[in-house]
Structure 1
Amino acid sequence: MRTLMIAITIAVLCPAGQALAWWDEGHMQIAYVAYKKLTPAARDRADALLKLNPDYANWIAGAPEGQEKLYAFVHAATWPDDIKMKPDYYDDQVTDSTARQLVPYGHLKHIYWHYKDALLSADDTPLPRPDPVDAVSQLKLMIAKLPANTDASEALRSYSLSWTIHLVGDLHQPLHAIARYSAALPDRGGDRGGNEVKVTAANGETLPLHFYWDGIFGGYSSVFGAIHDADAAGGLASVVPDAGKAQIVDPVTWAQESFDLAKTVAYAPPVRADKQPVELTREYETNARDLARKQAALAAARLANLLEALLR
């Protein structure tokens, strides 16, 4: 219940944006599994960049001796969500002139960078134009800045890396790649990736569908807890992604995959296209957990392959 209350609090504070994909636990597990796949040279380069993040000292506080680089990398996965709660960071809009700009550790939250909402009509409800700035547009910019042979500053590369670790996870959460419109939800944003759709899970909690998917790996965790869970029997570290798919490092493809999975799995019956709560079936919850594990493992493999190429 505590996890649900924290999530609801954040949703109230950030009503215009999506919920936090995978929450801390999921993002940290993805980062940890990816880190284990990186070569020592890529790890060192990542750490050199992450040291420029203003929260680096907090990330490594309490880390076991010799594990500081690992802890920093894993904790960096939650930084773009952490700033949503910082009092010196400010809300901005996708229509602002600064929406596309990568400003090294500027104080804008950029909540709309966390998702790529492809629009879907459930019943021929007219669709608005999609937003021009989103997770895909910004991640492509960040990827272009990360190699050492670009004209980007080290601060900009650091900022881009902090966001990249996070956004790769975001784009593999199906409900961060879709917004469904219907006669019951016709306004700008539609169901906002399931945020406006209520479901009741097997534990008896009634919560937004988006929150249900974000919380599949658990709620708000420590680095130690996320590593422990990933390495546990049957944990994320044991999931082997498709080797061919793992080589795909194109954010456009990732978003399209997640959009397709949202249509076929996240919005599968008994989920409705209106605000009437429904009780999830055992089949739905089993399929959701299985897909989430596959998507998270794929995100980790793709993140590792992407950073290995960019940070050489």
Structure 2
Amino acid sequence: MRKLMTAFLAVMFWPAGPALAWWDEGHMQIAYLAYKKLTPAARDRADTLLKLNPDYASWIAGAPQGQEKLYAFVRAATWPDDIKMKPDYYDDQVTDSTAKQLVPYGHLKHTYWHYKDALFSVDETPLPRPDAVDAVSQLKLMIAKLPANTDASEPLRSYSLSWIIHLVGDLHQPLHAVARYSAALPDKGGDRGGNELQVVAANGETQNLHAYWDGIFGGYSTVFGAIFDADQRGGLSTVTPDAGKAQIIDPAVWAQESFEFAKAIAYAPPVRADKQPVELTREYETNARDLARKQAALAAARLANLLEVLLR
């Protein structure tokens, strides 16, 4: 019953804001694929740092013997989303003086760290000034702090790693890199990465466009479930990312790629520029699933390559 209630609450809260990407399944599958690519030395260093996360004990509870490090790494991928539901974590604003600060296991949710909104208009609607703090700015700070030869403390490296595992996945979800403005949605935030647009999927469910993309890999899951889904026939483990693109470990490049994909595929017809619900076509849903799989596999490869450099 407790698991059912947790799943229900998660589903109820997920579509409400712009700061979730891929939901549990997507994030954990990306982390799992990345972990498989890491060398033993990088895995050990990652585990040493993740043990400093206050939730580490719960991550490995029930893990099969000998799989604790894997389970902790995979479960860490959802931690920046998990804290949004913790009663001792608090909302803050991108304009606050603390917005850019990396405070090891402080109690701010930093929901605006989860996306990098490139702004564009479909009809010359005026655009506001972009936020100065976002997923790209924070990832770059975290990347700079993670290596052992920096002046960062171990708790700060642990905190940075817990976010990096998650944010690499976030930036490969196209609607985490865009905000579209129009005459119908001219206010600050525009369509908020598709959160203000309603679509009807093939299963008959009406939801916002951002939630549709977040849920392509499924919703609430366990580590075991995510690993099983990734490894099954036709699962994410079978997708081979472009080797050249996998070597690109610049978050700004990732965000720009996702922005272009959002314009070309996430906002493709029949998606509208206003709030009128539309029924998604088979072609749209096929293209969305294909892109999501490619982006997730690429995110996993890039995460592994990035951590191999940082965790030496």
- Do the structures match in fold with TM over 0.5? yes
Please report how far the alpha carbon of residue 104 of structure 1 lies from its aligned counterpart in structure 2 after TM superposition: 0.1
Aligned to 1:219: 219
Which among 5, 9, 15 is matched to residue 13 of structure 2? 9
8 Å contact 2:34–2:300 — kept in the other structure?
Answer: yes
1:56 maps to 2:56: yes
Aligned to 1:77: 77
Please report how far the alpha carbon of residue 207 of structure 1 lies from its aligned counterpart in structure 2 after TM superposition: 0.2
User: In the TM superposition, what whole-angstrom CA distance separates every residue of 1:32-91 from its partner, at most 9, and x where no partner exists?
Assistant: 000000000000000000000000000000000000000000000000000000000000
8 Å contact 1:169–1:296 — kept in the other structure?
Answer: yes
Aligned to 1:18: 18
Aligned to 1:239: 239
Distance in 1 (CA, whole Å) between partners of 2:197 and 2:245 is: 31
Aligned to 1:194: 194
Distance in 2 (CA, whole Å) between partners of 1:206 and 1:19 is: 20
Aligned to 1:42: 42
2:286 maps to a residue whose letter is T
1:100 maps to 2:100: yes
Aligned to 1:298: 298
8 Å contact 2:42–2:308 — kept in the other structure?
Answer: yes
1:173 maps to a residue whose letter is Q
Aligned to 1:285: 285
Secondary structure (helix, strand or coil) at the match of 1:41 reads: helix
Distance in 2 (CA, whole Å) between partners of 1:7 and 1:302 is: 29
Normalising by the residue count of structure 2, what TM-score does the alignment of the two structures yield? 0.97
Aligned to 1:155: 155
Aligned to 2:140: 140
8 Å contact 1:7–1:211 — kept in the other structure?
Answer: no
8 Å contact 1:177–1:255 — kept in the other structure?
Answer: yes
Please report how far the alpha carbon of residue 6 of structure 1 lies from its aligned counterpart in structure 2 after TM superposition: 3.8
8 Å contact 1:194–1:210 — kept in the other structure?
Answer: yes
Aligned to 2:205: 205
Distance in 1 (CA, whole Å) between partners of 2:311 and 2:9 is: 39
User: In the TM superposition, what whole-angstrom CA distance separates every residue of 1:152-201 from its partner, at most 9, and x where no partner exists?
Assistant: 00000000000000000000000000000000000000000000000000
In the alignment, structure 1 segments of 5+ residues that lack a partner are: none
Aligned to 2:165: 165
Distance in 2 (CA, whole Å) between partners of 1:67 and 1:237 is: 18
8 Å contact 1:49–1:155 — kept in the other structure?
Answer: yes
Aligned to 2:266: 266
Please report how far the alpha carbon of residue 11 of structure 1 lies from its aligned counterpart in structure 2 after TM superposition: 4.5
Distance in 1 (CA, whole Å) between partners of 2:164 and 2:263 is: 25
Distance in 1 (CA, whole Å) between partners of 2:255 and 2:111 is: 17
Distance in 2 (CA, whole Å) between partners of 1:39 and 1:30 is: 16
Distance in 1 (CA, whole Å) between partners of 2:9 and 2:206 is: 12
Secondary structure (helix, strand or coil) at the match of 2:172 reads: coil
Aligned to 1:248: 248
Distance in 1 (CA, whole Å) between partners of 2:173 and 2:161 is: 19
Please report how far the alpha carbon of residue 7 of structure 1 lies from its aligned counterpart in structure 2 after TM superposition: 3.7
8 Å contact 2:182–2:190 — kept in the other structure?
Answer: yes
Distance in 2 (CA, whole Å) between partners of 1:290 and 1:104 is: 37
Alignment root-mean-square deviation, CA: 1.2
Distance in 2 (CA, whole Å) between partners of 1:5 and 1:260 is: 33
Pairs aligned (count): 307
Distance in 2 (CA, whole Å) between partners of 1:7 and 1:174 is: 21
Aligned to 1:114: 114
Distance in 2 (CA, whole Å) between partners of 1:67 and 1:158 is: 20
8 Å contact 1:146–1:161 — kept in the other structure?
Answer: yes
Normalising by the residue count of structure 1, what TM-score does the alignment of the two structures yield? 0.97
Task: Tell me which stretches of 4 or more aligned residues in structure 1 moved more than 3 Å.
Answer: 2-8
Distance in 1 (CA, whole Å) between partners of 2:203 and 2:8 is: 12
Secondary structure (helix, strand or coil) at the match of 1:120 reads: strand
